[in-house]
Amino acid sequence: MVKEHVLSHKELHEEAADDRVMFGFWIYLMTDLLIFSVLFATYSVLHTRTLGGAPGSALFSRPLALTETLILLTSSFTCGIGMIMARQRKQAQTLVWFGLTFILGLAFLSLELREFSAFIHEGHTLQTNAFLSSFFVLVGTHGLHITSGLLWMGITLGYIVKRGLNAPLVRKLAMLSLFWHFLDIVWIFIFTIVYMGAYT
Amino acid sequence: MSKHVGKGHIFLHRLKFGISAFIVLELIIFVVVLLSGKNFAVLNPKGFIASAQSNVILLSAAILFTIAIPTLVILYFVAWKYRETNTHAEYDPQENHGKMFDFGIWAIPSFFMLLMAFVMIPATHRLDPRQQISSYNKPLTIQVIAMRWKWVFLYPDQNIATVNFVQIPTDTPVEFELSADESPMSSFWIPNLGGQLYAMTGHVNTLHLLADKPGDYAGSTAELTGAGFSGMKFVARASSQDNFDSWVNEAKNSPSALTSEEYAHLLKPSEHNAATLYAKTDPELFSTMLAKYAGSHDHGMHE
Amino acid sequence: MKEFFLGRLNMHALPHEWFSVGGTAGFMGLFILAAIILTRTKRWKWLWNDWLTSVDPKKIGIMYFIVGAFMLVRGGVDAIMIWLQQALSSGSSHGYLTADHFQQIFTAHGNIMVFFVAMAFIFGLINYIVPLQIGARDLASPFMNTLGFWLYIGGVVMVNMFFAFGGEYAATGWLAASPLSSIQFSPGVGVDYWIWSLQISGIGTTLGAINFIMTILKMRAPGMSLWKMPLFTWGSLCSMIMAVIVFPLLTATLFLMFFDRSFGTHFFTTTGGGDPMMYTNLIWMWGHPEVYILMLPAFGVFSEVVTTFSRKSIASYTSNVLGMIGVTLFALSVWLHHFFTMGASADVNAFFGVMTLFIAIPTSVLVFTWIATMRKGRIRYDTPMLWFLGFIATFTIGGIAGLILAVPPADFQLHNSLFLVAHFHSMVIGGVLFGIFAGLNFWFPKFTGFRLNDKIGRYSFYCWITGFCLSFIPMYILGLMGATRRLDHYDGATGWQPLYISMFIGGLVIATGVALQFAQILASYLQKYRLRDETGDPWDGRTLEWAVASRPPYYNFTVIPEVTTRDAFMAMKSAGTVKTVYEDIIIPKNTAAGIYIAIFAFFAGFGFVWHIMWLAFVSIIGAIVVFIIRGFHDDSEYTLTAAEVEKLEKARIAKAKLAVPGKYDHTDEDMGLQQLIGISYTFLIDIVKNKRWRTW
C-alpha cells in the first residue's frame, strides 16, 4: 500500500519534471535564437564591407550550399522518424534512424569545413574584412552547434546501447531532436540570407 | 504588538530631525555655489542653441515637477497621517478601489507624458544638430578632427588651422563638421554654446552652433577617450567679426603650417597640448583623412 | 615554447604596483584567515557538504548575499577612491592616481556594483523568496541554479583576478565603449578580464533566468493562478523574462568583441570595415533592460513591504501588475536614448525619446498604487518602511532627471555630464539598492530565525540617505555646470572643487552606513533570542513565505498549500486553515558538478585573457565532460518518507523550545550602537588579555 503510493507519487513528480524540462529547453532555444539574431544583424550590417575584396557572390558556390541544405533537411527528416521510433520504444529502429542522422550531420559538417578551408587557402580569412569576419562567425557558430549536436547524439546513442531505451533517454532524444530541427531552421535562414542573398 | 506603539513618534521625531539636517546641509552647498558666482554653463547660455536647449530643460523640469511635487507631498502626508499611532485615522484593510481609481492612476501620468511628448517632438526636430541656423550672416564652416588627445580645427575657407583652440565670430552660424582620426569616439561639447555630438572615425557629424555674446567658453570631450581624456580641452573664443578677421590674419602670418608631416606628428598620442595656430593647411586634408576609413562605414547613421 | 605554455603571461604580469600588491595581499590574507578558521573549527566538510554543493535555493540565496555584501565593500572602496581623487585633483594638484588607473577604478566600480552586488542581491532574494511565495519545494532545475550561482562566482573571481595577474583592469567605462575597448586603443589584458568576467557571470544569469521562469510558470501551488501571484514574484517573473531576452544579446556581443580582440576580426574596429556604432547599439540593447532587470524585483519588494506594513492589500493589484508588465515591454525599446548624441536623425531620436517618456507611465502607476495602499492603512514604521520612504524621494528626483535626459535637445547638453551620473545613481542606489535593503530587513527573520536590530538599522538608513544627498545633489549641480563624467582632473578656475569635496564626504557617510549595516547584523546576532521569530510570521505577513517556519526546513512546505485568493497566507490565517499533515517529499541531492563546471569556465576565460589556448580548450572540454556526466546521471533525487518528515518537524519544534536567552537578551530594547561598541571592546580586550587564541 505504502509502496504503491510512493511509486505513483514519484511518477507524478517525474512527469511534471519532464514537462518542466521541455519547457525550459524551449526557453533555452529561444535564447540561442537571440544569439543567432545578433549574428544575423551584424552580418546584414557588415556584408557589403569587403574593402575591395571578393564579395559573397564571387566566393560562394551555390551547388555546395544547396547540397548542404538538402543534407541537413534530410537529416531533420531522419531525426523525426527516429523520434517516432523512440516514442514507441523501438530501440533498434531508433538507433538506425538517429545513426543516419548522425552520418548526415557529419557529412554536412565536413562539407562546411571544406568550404572554410578552401576560403582560407585562397586568402579569404576571418581577418580580411568585416564581411568575412561576420560570415565566418555566423556560419561557424552554426557549425559549432551542429558539432555539439553530434556529440550529444553520439553519447545518447551510446547510452541507449548501454542502458536500453528508458524514459530519461527518450526525454533526452526529444530535446535533441528539437535542437536539431532548430538548427535546421537557422540553417534555412543562413542559406537564404547569406548564400542566396549574396546574388541579389 | 505593543512594542511597536510609540515607534511612530520616535520615527517622526527623527525624520523631522533628519530632514531638517538635509535641508540645512543642502542650503549651505547651494549658498556656497551661488555666492562663488560660478558658471552654471548649461543654464547660462551664451549662444542661440544653448538658450533653446536650456529652455527645453527648464520647461521639461517644470512639467515634471508639476506632477512629482504633489505626488511626493501627498505620499509623505499619507505616510504621516496613517501612521500606526494615529488611531483616529480611518483604517480599511479591505478597501475597494473602483474603476475610476485605475483609470485615474493611468490617465494622470499619461497626460503628463503626452504633454512632454508635445514639447519633445517639435523641439527634437527644431534643435536637430544638423539643422542650419537661419541668419543674415554667412555661415562659417569649421572641420573638427578629434585625435588622441587633442582637438584639431580646420578652417577650409580661411585656410588656417588650430589645435585646442577655436575662434568664431558672434552672431554668425558656425557649422562644425565633426570627425576623428585614429581616436576612440569623442564627444564635442561647448556647454555655454550648445549641446554635444560625437566625433567618430570615418563619419562626419554636423553640429550647428551660434554664439550671441563674446567670451571664452570651455570646450571638451564629454566621452571617455583614454589616458589623455581630461586634458582633451579647448577654448572656444567668440568675438566680434572684426576681431575674428584680425585673428585670422594673425594666424595666416603664423610661422608654422599644418603640413602632412606636422599632421602625422599630431596623430601621435599626446596629452595636454597647448593651443597652436597654423597658417596654411592642405585643403584636401579633411577628405584625405576621411578616405582612410572609406569602405568602413557605408551604413552610417547620419545618412 | 614558452609562449605556447604561458601565452602573454610573464613575470612582468605579477603584482608590482601598490594597488596590485595590496589587492593581492588583501585577498590572500582573507583566504588564509578563512582557511585557518575552517581548519581550526574543523568546518571544511561542513562547508562543502552543507553549503558549497547544496542545491537548496535558500542556501544558494544566502551565499549570494554573502558574496554580494563582500563585493559591496569592494565596489565601495572603489567609489571612495574615485571621489578622493576627484576631491584632490584640481588645478595644480593631480591627485594620487594616474588617469589610466583612475579610469580602471571607475570601470571596475560600475561592473562590480551592477553585476556582482545588485545582481547578486536580487538573485539571492529571488532564490530564497520566490519558491516560498509560490508554495514550491524547490526550483524547476536545482542543478542549473547551482551552476548559475557558481558561474557568477567565476565572474567575481575573474573581475578581481587582475590584481594578481596583469595588474590592469579595463579603463573603458562599465560598458567598454567601442572603439575605445578595441585592441587598437586598449592593448592590455584589462578589457579581456572585463569580457570574461561578464561573459561567465552573464551565462550564469541566463541559466538562472530560464530556471526561474520555469519555476514560476510551472511550479506554483495548486490554485495559485498567475493573477493570484504575490507581487514580488510578479516582479521577479518580469525581470527574468527580460533577462532571458537580453542576456543572450550580451553573450553574443561579448563573443564578437572577444573575436575582435583575440583573433583580429572586424566587427567593432575602426578599420577593416568594422562598425563601433553597432557595438554601441548592441551593448545598450542589453544594458538598458539590465537596469530594469534589477529594478522590477525591487518594485516587487516595495509592494510587499508597503502592503504588509500598511496592513492592507495592494490598491489595484491589476494596475500594479500591468505596471510591471508595462515597464518590461517599454524597457526593451528605449536603448537608443543612451546615445542621442551619436548623430541619428531627429525622427529616430524623437521616437526613442517618446518611448522613454512612456516608460514613466507604468512606473508612476506603481507609485500611485503604493500611495493608495498606505491611505486608510495602519502604517507601522519598521526599518523596511523607512527604506521605502527614502526610495520614493530619491527615485522621484532621479526619475525627473531621467525624463529630462529623455528629451533629445536637453540630452545634448546633459549627456555624459555628471548630471547623467547623478541620475542613474539615484535610480540604482535609491531604487534598486534601497529595495534590496528593504527586502533584506523585511525577510531577514525568514533567513535566520531572528529579526534585525531596528535601532542600528535606522542609523544606517539615516547615514545612507544623508550621504546620498551630500554626494549626489552636488553631482547634479556639477552636471549643470558643465562637468563631464569620469574626469581625473579639472581646472581650479572652474570652482568645482567644493562640490567634489562634498561628494567625497557624502561617500564617507555612506560608508558609515554600510559599516552600520554590518553592525546591525552583529547586534541582532548577539540578541538573537530576544529578536527570535517563533511563529515564522513576525510582521503579520500576507504571502506564503510566512506560512512556514523561520528558517524554513529544506523542503519548505510539509504540505503544499492550496491557494484560493491573493495574499494567500492572510486568507488562511483568517480562515484558520493552516494544517499539519505529513507526506513523502522528493528531494534533489547535492551536487558539486556546478562548481567543477564553473572552475573550468573560469580557467577557459583565464586562458583566453592571456592567450593560453591549450588551457582554454582543455578547460572547455573539461566543462563539457562534467556537463555530460551530470546530464546522464539519473540518480539525482531521493525520497524523504512521511514518517521522516514528521520526525524532522517534531525535532525542529522541540529544538526551538530549548532556545535560551543569551548574555545580552535580558533587556526590553534592541541593542544600541553604544552598547554594541562596548561589547565589542570588552570582547577584544578579553581576547588580548587572556590570550584566547591559544584555545582556538
Per-residue pLDDT tens over the stretch C581-614: 788 888 889 999 999 999 999 999 999 999 999 9
CB-closest option in A10, A23, A46 to C639? A10
- CATH number for the domain running over B140-291: 2.60.40.420
Residue pair B160/B172 in contact (Cβ under 8 Å)? The answer is no
Between the alpha carbon of residue C210 and those of residues A21, A186, B36, B100, C217, the distances in Å are 10, 21, 55, 38, 11
- N-to-C CA span, chain B: 68
Cβ contact C439:C235 at 8 Å: no
Higher pLDDT: B107 or B38? It is B107
| pLDDT on residue C602 | 96
Interface size, chain B vs chain C, as Cβ–Cβ contacts under 8 Å: 332
Half-sphere exposure of B59 (CA within 13 A, CB side): 16
Which residue in A has a C-alpha nearest to residue B298's C-alpha?
Answer: A49
Mean pLDDT for C632-638 is 80
CA distances from C55 to A123, C58, C70, C144 (A): 51, 9, 22, 9
pLDDT (tens digit, 9 = 90+) per residue, A124-157? 999 999 999 999 999 999 999 999 999 999 999 9
Stronger pLDDT, A186 or B40, i.e. the higher one: A186
* Confidence at residue C587, expressed as pLDDT on a 0 to 100 scale: 87
In the three-class reduction of DSSP (H, G, I as helix; E, B as strand; rest coil), residue C496 is classed as coil
Which pairing describes strands B194-199 and B205-209: parallel, antiparallel, or unpaired?
unpaired
Domain range list for chain C? 43-182+192-585+662-695
pLDDT at residue number C521: 95
Shortest alpha-carbon distance between residue C214 and chain A (Å): 6
Cβ pair B39:C498 closer than 8 A: no
Which chains neighbour B (Cβ–Cβ under 8 Å, 3 or more pairs)? Answer: A, C
Contact: C413, B230; criterion CB under 8 Å = no
Cα–Cα dist A111/A109, whole Å: 5
Residue-wise pLDDT for C419-442, tens only, equals 999 999 999 999 999 999 999 999
SS (H, E, C) chain A: CHHHHHHHHHHHHHHHHHHHHHHHHHHHHHHHHHHHHHHHHHHHHHCCCCCCCCCHHHHCCHHHHHHHHHHHHHHHHHHHHHHHHHHCCCHHHHHHHHHHHHHHHHHHHHHHHHHHHHHHHCCCCCCCCHHHHHHHHHHHHHHHHHHHHHHHHHHHHHHHHHHCCCHHHHHHHHHHHHHHHHHHHHHHHHHHHHHHHHHC
What percent of chain C is predicted at pLDDT more than 90? Answer: 77
- From chain A, pick out residues whose CB is under 8 angstroms from the CB of B298: 48-49
Whether the per-residue pLDDT at C223 is higher than 60: the answer is yes
- CB contact at 8 A, C194 and C111: yes
Among the partner residues B36, B185, B299, nearest to C179 by beta-carbon distance: B185
User: CA–CA separation, C307 vs C287, rounded Å?
Assistant: 31
E strand or H helix at C637: strand C637-640
Mean pLDDT of all residues in C56-80: 96
Can you count the helices (H) and strands (E) in chain C?
23, 2
Say if CB B143 and CB B179 are below 8 A apart. Answer: yes
The residue that leads in pLDDT, C22 or A11, is: C22
The residue of chain A nearest to residue C244, with distances taken between CA atoms, is A31
Residue C307's SS3 state is: helix
Burial B117-153 (b: 16+ CB within 10 A, else e): bebbbebbbebbbeeebeeeeeebbbbbbbbbbbbbb
What gap in Å lies between CA C481 and CA A54, rounded to an integer?
Answer: 52
- Where b means 16+ CB within 10 Å and e means fewer, C455-489 reads bbbbbbbbbbbbbbbbbbbbbbbbbbbbbbbbbbb
Query: What per-residue confidence (pLDDT) applies to B142?
Result: 96
The neighbours of chain A, by the rule of 3 or more Cβ pairs under 8 Å, are B, C
Q: What is the pLDDT of residue C372?
A: 95
Measured distance CA(A65)–CA(A115) in Å, rounded: 10
Q: Does A102 touch chain C (CB under 8 A)?
A: no
Cβ pair B258, C232 in contact under 8 A = no
Question: For the residues of B253-267, what is the DSSP string, one character each?
Answer: T-S--B-HHHHHHHH
Find chain C residues with C-beta within 8 A of A23's C-beta: 214, 217-218
CA-nearest residue to A44 within chain C is C278
**Which phi and psi (to 5°) does residue B166 adopt?**
-140, 130
Contact residues of C toward A, CB < 8 A = 140-141, 144, 206, 210-211, 213-214, 217-219, 244-245, 247-249, 251-253, 255-256, 259, 263-267, 272-275, 278, 282, 583-584, 586, 624, 628, 631-632, 634, 639, 641
Q: Which set of grid coordinates corresponds to residue A141?
A: 557558430
Residues A134, A138, A143, A149: what is their CA dihedral angle, to the nearest 10 degrees?
150
Which of A117, B244, B34, B25 has the alpha carbon at shortest distance from C462? B25
Least Cα separation, residue C266 to chain A (angstroms) = 5
pLDDT average, residue stretch C550-577: 86
* CATH number of this structure's domain C43-182+192-585+662-695, picked from the four choices 1.20.210.10, 3.40.50.1100, 3.40.30.10, 1.25.40.10: 1.20.210.10
- Please give the pLDDT value at position B14: 66
The pLDDT tens digits of the residues spanning C107-143 come to: 999 999 999 999 999 999 999 999 999 999 999 999 9
- For B7-16, write each residue's pLDDT tens digit: 555 665 666 6
pLDDT tens digits, B68-87 = 999 999 999 999 999 999 98
Q: Which helix (H) or strand (E) segment is C585 a member of?
A: strand C585-588
**Residue C280: burial class (beta carbons within 10 Å; 0-12, 13-18, 19+):** buried
Determine the average pLDDT of the residues in A183-191: 96
Q: What is the CB neighbour count within 10 angstroms for residue A3?
A: 7
CA pair distance A60, A68, nearest whole angstrom? 12
Say whether residue A48 is in contact with chain B using an 8 A CB cutoff. yes
Specify whether the backbone of C576 is left (phi greater than 0), alpha (psi in -120 to 50) or beta. Answer: left
Q: How many CB atoms lie within 10 A of CB B34?
A: 11
- The rounded distance, in Å, linking the Cα atoms of A42 and A40 is 5
In 10 A of CB B28, how many CB atoms? 11
Cell numbers 535558500: residue:
C58
Amino acid, res. C115: F
Contacts of B295 in chain A (CB under 8 A): 49-52
Higher pLDDT, A182 or C563: A182
> Using an 8 Å Cβ cutoff, are C251 and C340 in contact?
no
Q: Using the beta-carbon criterion (under 8 Å), do B92 and C273 form an inter-chain contact?
A: no
For residue C17, what pLDDT is reported?
A: 87
Count of CB atoms situated within 10 Å of the CB of B24: 10
For residue A130, the chain B residues in CB contact (below 8 A) are 296
Measure the CA–CA gap between C416 and C290, rounded to whole angstroms. 19
- Look-up of cell digits 508635445: B118
pLDDT at position C650 is: 87
Distance between CA atoms of C452 and C492, rounded to whole angstroms?
46
Nearest to C469 among B22, B194, B202 (CB): B22
DSSP state of B133: P
Query: pTM surpassing 0.90?
Result: yes
State chain C's maximal CA–CA distance in angstroms.
Answer: 78
Average of pLDDT values for B116-142?
Answer: 93
Does the distance separating the beta carbons of C273 and A23 come in below 8 Å? Answer: no
What does residue B185 show for φ and ψ, rounded to 5 degrees?
Answer: -55, 130
CATH superfamily of A2-46+61-199: Cytochrome c oxidase, subunit III, four-helix bundle (1.20.120.80)
ipTM comes to: 0.94
Identify each DSSP E strand in chain B by its residue range. 140-147, 150-155, 160-163, 165-169, 174-180, 186-190, 194-199, 205-209, 215-221, 233-239, 276-278
For the record, the C-alpha cell of C195 comes out as 569580457
What are the φ/ψ torsions at residue B151 (nearest 5 degrees)? Answer: -110, 125
State how beta strands B160-163 and B276-278 pair: antiparallel
| Residue A80 CB partners (closer than 8 Å, separation 6+) | A177, A181
- Using an 8 Å Cβ cutoff, are C599 and C638 in contact? no
Task: Please state, in angstroms and rounded to a whole number, the distance separating the CA atoms of residues B266 and B252.
Answer: 20
Contact A45 B299 (CB under 8 A): yes
Entry field: residues in chain B: 303
What is the predicted pLDDT for the residue at C10?
A: 85
Residue A196's nearest CA partner among A72, A35, A37, A47 is A47
**Cell numbers representing residue A29 in the block:** 532555444
Mean of pLDDT over chain C: 92
The Cα–Cα gap between A76 and A23 comes to 21
At C668, the pLDDT band (50, 70, 90 cuts) reads confident
pLDDT of residue C373: 95
Residue B303, pLDDT above cutoff 50: no
Banded model confidence at residue B23, pLDDT cuts 50, 70, 90: low
Hey, which residues 76-105 in chain A have their CB within 8 Å of chain B? none
The pLDDT tens digits of the residues spanning C520-552 come to 999 999 998 889 988 889 999 999 999 998 889
Residues of B with CB below 8 A from C412's CB?
53, 127, 129, 194-197
d(CA C306, CA C234): 16
Question: Would you kindly state where each structural domain of chain A is located, as residue ranges?
Answer: 2-46+61-199
B 242-281 residues with CB below 8 A of C? Answer: none
DSSP per residue, B204-234: -EEEEE-B-S-EEEEEEE-S--STTGGG-EE
**DSSP per-residue codes, C418-474:** HHHHHHHHIIIIIIIIHHHHHHHHHHHHHHHSBPPPHHHHHHHHHHHHHHHHHHHHH
> Is the Cα torsion angle C606, C612, C613, C614 positive or negative in sign?
negative
* Residue C688: per-residue pLDDT: 86
Distance CA A102, CA C498 (A): 70
Task: Count the alpha carbons within 13 Å of C226 in the hemisphere toward its beta carbon.
Answer: 12
**A168: buried, middle or exposed (CB in 10 Å: 19+, 13-18, 0-12)?**
middle
Closest CA to C473 of C527, C394, C417, C552: C394
Instruction: For residue range C318-344, list pLDDT tens digits in order.
Output: 999 999 999 999 999 999 999 999 999
CB contacts, 8 Å: C274 with chain B: 296
Given B42, B126, B201, which is nearest C414 (Cβ)?
B42
Q: Provide the pLDDT for residue C696.
A: 61
